[in-house]
Amino acid sequence: MSNAIPAEDSPKPPDPTQGKPAPATPLNPRRRGIVIGASDGLGAELARNLAREGYSLALLARRKDKLDVLCSEINANGGSARAYVHNVSEYSKVPDLLRKIVAELGGLDLVIFAAGVNLPPGGMDKYNFENDHKMIEVNLIGAMAWLHPISEMFQSAKAGQIVGISSVAGDRGRVGNPGNNISKAGLTTYLEALRNRLTRHGVNVLTVKPGFMKTEMLKAAQGPTPFAIEPAKAADDIVKAMQKRRQVIYTASIWRWIMLAIQHTPSFIFRRLSF
């Protein structure tokens, strides 16, 4: 190892994973967004899509290697993304990290909570407290840890947009994976509560309920996976819904009708079904 100490002013080579947001000007306005749970699947596709839309992005995920690859890709394609390694169940780290991100992005206009885990118990007659606990911890309490302080900021700023990636799984308690059902039902209700609080302050809250997507998570699903779509297609739907400032969307949209049928299936039938 060389003993040479680099001169204080010598410019460091730019880190490809830490894109520097371009100055926002009236003719080159740049919105700033955080994507939590961005390393792969839907989160990564959302990041790519928003980068194309001109957002300066902060991308958060547990897995540094995947995150770095994604950020480098976005920055190489003319976008601006910065990587932050973070585990959403480390709640106490959120306030400081949020402040740091907002400072480094130069403001905040959008937050997407896309972090989530799906840990099935392994059969409709199995119970696994550890897995269920973990799902609540990440999918629900993780969302609250982030969206509480962000709601406080957006409410005060009277501007901003929150997108929560919930799931069709939250629409009904089913036999396969009770922990996932309740974590997503909780998230959907939490997002609705935020919407009811924040709409009057000019803040839009969008709840996204994806059905099956061709991601890592699909492997956890048991049984058939109808209407599975590419995450890029889902990301497209979500960005369009954001721009229209919609409230709740299903993706693919056919799930709206499927879930309507499922929600209205009477219990004396539903409790005899095995899905």
Partner 1 sequence: MVGGLLKTMPIYLNSTFIQLENFGHSLQASSYRIQINKTEDIYEAFQLAKKLGLKVTARGTGISYNDASLNGGGMVLDMRRMNQIVEWDSASGLVRCESGVTLEQLWQKVEPDGWWPPVVSGTMKTTLGGCLAANIHGKNNFQAGPIGEHVVEFTAMLPAGALVTCTPKKNADLFYAMISGLGMLGVFTSITLKMKRIFSGLISVDAWHVSNLSRHLSGLHDHAADHDYIVGWLDAFARGKNLGRGQIHGARQLKEGEDPDSQKTMQLAYQHLPDRFFGVLPKSSLHYFMNPFMNNLGMWGVNTARYISSLRTHTFRQSHAEFHFLLDYVPNWERSFGRGGLIQYQSFLPKETAEDAWREMLELSQQRGLPSYLCVTKRHRPDTFLLTHGVDGFSLALDFKVTDKNRAKLSAMLQEFDRIVLDAGGRFYFAKNSETTAESTRKFLGDETILKFKKLKKRCDPNGLLESDLYRRVFGG
Least distance (Å) from partner 1 to the CB of residue 193? 18
Of 148 and 233, nearer to partner 1 (C-beta) is 148
Applying CB under 8 A, does 149 fall inside the site for partner 1? Answer: yes
Of 3 and 25, nearer to partner 1 (C-beta) is 25
Applying CB under 8 A, does 152 fall inside the site for partner 1? Answer: yes
Applying CB under 8 A, does 102 fall inside the site for partner 1? Answer: yes
Buried residues in 41-75 as b, exposed as e (16+ CB within 10 A): bbbbbbbbbbbeeebbbbbbbbeeebbbbbbbbbb
Q: Which stretch binds partner 1 (CB under 8 A): 74-82, 97-105, 211-219, 246-254?
A: 97-105
Q: What whole-number distance in Å separates Cα of residue 215 and Cα of residue 41?
A: 5
Of 107 and 178, nearer to partner 1 (C-beta) is 107
Residue 249: both structure tokens together: 């969307």
Q: Which stretch binds partner 1 (CB under 8 A): 28-36, 67-75, 135-143, 240-248?
A: 28-36
In order of 45, 146, 177, 254, the CA distances from 249 in angstroms are 17, 21, 22, 10
Q: What type of residue sits at position 8?
A: E
Applying CB under 8 A, does 244 fall inside the site for partner 1? Answer: no
Q: Which stretch binds partner 1 (CB under 8 A): 146-154, 177-185, 224-232, 243-251?
A: 146-154
With tokens 């840990």, the residue in question is: 119
Of 169 and 194, nearer to partner 1 (C-beta) is 194
Least distance (Å) from partner 1 to the CB of residue 102? 4
Tell me the HSE value of 102 on the side-chain side, using a 13 A CA sphere. 17
Least distance (Å) from partner 1 to the CB of residue 22? 9
**Among residues 52, 63, 93, 99, which is the contact residue for partner 1, using CB under 8 A?**
99
Least distance (Å) from partner 1 to the CB of residue 106? 4
Of 110 and 259, nearer to partner 1 (C-beta) is 110
Of 94 and 249, nearer to partner 1 (C-beta) is 94
Judged by the rule CB under 8 A, the positions of this chain that interact with partner 1 are 23-29, 32, 99-100, 102-109, 149, 152-159
